[in-house]
Amino acid sequence: MGRTVLPFSRVLEQEVQEWRKFRRGLRKEDQQFLDRLFEEARLHVQAGVYASRPWPFETILVSILLEHEKALVELRSKLSALEKKGVILSDSEESNTQCHPERSEGSHKIDTKDSSADASE
């Protein structure tokens, strides 16, 4: 007789339960982050069912990484849009102004100097 394969959603819940002691050892704020990671894995239960891997935790980790990759791409896109608008400097512009402070004149870089010092000049 073949063995019955548990639904991936149940396997995921078992994995969450196995990490309970670890979770209890975390600070409250970190517990919330761990919970969010498992929530991200729940977004891909269908793929976990389809993959049917011998080590389900691999599927859970890849699901979490997939969500992180999507978030990174979105953040990079937003950052690029802000750089194009001149709201912030790109890394290359930032390093260029650090090497050549005179080039930062008129740029849109956020001024962190004390404004009272500017008034006295």
Mean pLDDT value of segment 36-64 = 91
Identify whether 55 is part of a domain: yes
- Quick check: 58 pLDDT over 90? yes
Query: Percentage of the chain surpassing pLDDT 90?
Result: 54
Contacts 24+ apart (CB under 8 A), 90-99: none
Identify whether 41 is part of a domain: yes
Identify whether 84 is part of a domain: yes
pLDDT at residue 110 in the model: 42
- Residue-number span of the structural domain to which 18 is assigned: 8-103
pLDDT at residue 52 in the model: 81
Indicate the length of the chain as a whole number: 121
Identify whether 112 is part of a domain: no
- Quick check: 112 pLDDT over 90? no
Mean pLDDT value of segment 14-27 = 96
For residues 48 and 8, is the Cβ–Cβ distance under 8 A?
Answer: yes
Higher pLDDT, 30 or 117: 30
Identify whether 121 is part of a domain: no
Identify whether 68 is part of a domain: yes
Identify whether 98 is part of a domain: yes
Identify whether 13 is part of a domain: yes
Number of structural domains (the chain) is 1
